[in-house]
Amino acid sequence: MLRRTVVLSMLAMSISMPAAMADPIGDAKAFVEKFATKVEKWDGPTTGPAAKADQSIVIVAGDLRNGGVLGAVEGMKAAADGIGWKIRVLDGQGSVSGRAAAMSQALATSPNGIIIAGVDSVEQKQSVEAANKAGIPIVSWHASSKVGPLKEDGIFANITTDAMQVADAAAYWAFADAKGKPGVVIFTDSTYQMAIAKADRLKKVIEDLGGTVLEYVDTPMADTSTRMPQLTSTLLQRYGTKWTHSLAVNDLYFDFIAPSLSSAGLGGTDAPVNVSAGDGSESAYQRIRAKQYQTVTVAEPLTLQGWQAIDEMNRALSGQEWSGYVAPLHVVTTANIEFDGGPKNSFDPENGYREEYMKVWGRK
């Protein structure tokens, strides 16, 4: 029933997004506002298998320097403690070879299950197939833009918010903020299928609304610290005031954009206005609160998703289907940053999800 409800609600949401808006700016603001309110009601699973005892799980993190990955992994560790499992975390260090090595190391320990976080499912297909052959279930976070089971990739369930809704919310916010005339630079990384799917959606929405995509920049997330300063300076020289908004597939790109903007004489709230289509990292919250070179992040409930990852793994180990749950997204601005976890620099819904999962597992 839960899965059917989730699917129907997602269909309803996609249908409600007007292709041709009578009042484009007003409708864009209304769309964004739906994701800017408090999240106080638990709409996730209330039934499921009791905690499987004495399980050993390996988490393969794509890059722990990425605030989104780190937040989700911290949630997984807390949930594992709640359910009573042993956890080991391996860091892929932001490279294909590093992630492959971490996957090989995970397989060598013969764990009960593997959770991959910020690791593209197609990129590590060979390792995932090896796990499948060994009977080791895999749950993922952000392995794909698709939500739920990735049967073709051998993954029990992929956890993410609706990536297309995330992109829509970011694009609509920028469109409305620019009063219908945004000049946008999009930052993405073709290493990740999910990043390209979100970036393509950002581009489509902006252009369908009549805005301008000045440039679609494909630059590796792992190299943002070295690439973004010079890249930002180059883009400023190329586009000047035509560049009104930046849209990035996650917050990491804005971790290193400030020095170049500041050197160009631009203040923390001047154009280009920086808007992230995920993940809601701690550094993003700090920038938004301080009004320093980031105005919006479309945040995911990273800690909640970590708890969901452990719940989905428990379902996989118990021979049950995935829960069908899709966690909510949240548009974070200075106007709403002080609730739903904001004081702790994260989107952490005040809906009692920890207690609800503990009940499902029979731990409370």
* pLDDT of 57 strictly over 70: yes
Q: Which residue has the higher pLDDT, 228 or 6?
A: 228
Cα 306 to Cα 77: distance, rounded to the nearest angstrom: 8
Mean pLDDT along residues 194-207: 97
Instruction: Tell whether the model's pLDDT for residue 171 goes beyond 90.
Output: yes
Reduced to 3 states, what is the DSSP secondary structure of residue 192? coil
Which amino acid is residue 223, in one-letter code?
A: D
Compute the 3-state secondary structure of the chain and give helix, strand, coil in percent, each to the nearest 5. 45, 15, 40
Closest CA to 248 of 176, 298, 307: 298
Interval 119-135: pLDDT, tens: 998 999 999 999 999 99
**pLDDT computed for residue 17 by the predictor:** 47
- Yes or no: say if 363 and 51 are a contact pair by the CB < 8 Å rule: yes
User: pLDDT value at position 10?
Assistant: 42
Q: Alpha-carbon distance 41 to 6, whole Å?
A: 15
Per-residue pLDDT, averaged over 33-58, amounts to 96
pLDDT in tens, 280-317: 999 999 999 999 999 999 999 999 999 999 999 999 99
pLDDT at residue 364 in the model: 80
Q: Looking at the predicted structure, is the pLDDT value of residue 8 above 70?
A: no
Instruction: Give mean pLDDT, residues 198-204.
Output: 98
pLDDT above 70 for 14: no
Domains contained in the chain, CATH given: 16-38+163-299 (3.40.50.2300), 56-160+303-325 (3.40.50.2300)
CA 319, CA 304: separation in Å to the nearest integer?
Answer: 23
Say which residues have a Cβ less than 8 Å from residue 178's Cβ, sequence separation at least 6: 211, 244, 245
Q: Residues 6 or more apart from 258 whose CB is under 8 A from it?
A: 268, 287, 292, 293
Residues 277, 202: contact at Cβ < 8 Å?
Answer: yes
Label each residue of 82-139 as H, E or C. Answer: HHCCEEEEEECCCCHHHHHHHHHHHHHCCCCEEEEECCCCCCCHHHHHHHHHCCCCEE
DSSP state of 265: T
How confident is the model over 22-38, as pLDDT tens digits? 799 999 999 999 999 99
Looking at every residue in the chain, the average pLDDT score rounds to 93
265: confidence class by pLDDT, cuts 50, 70, 90:
very high
Contact 183, 242 (CB under 8 A): yes
The pLDDT of residue 20 is 52
pLDDT at res. 279:
87
User: pTM (2 decimals)?
Assistant: 0.87
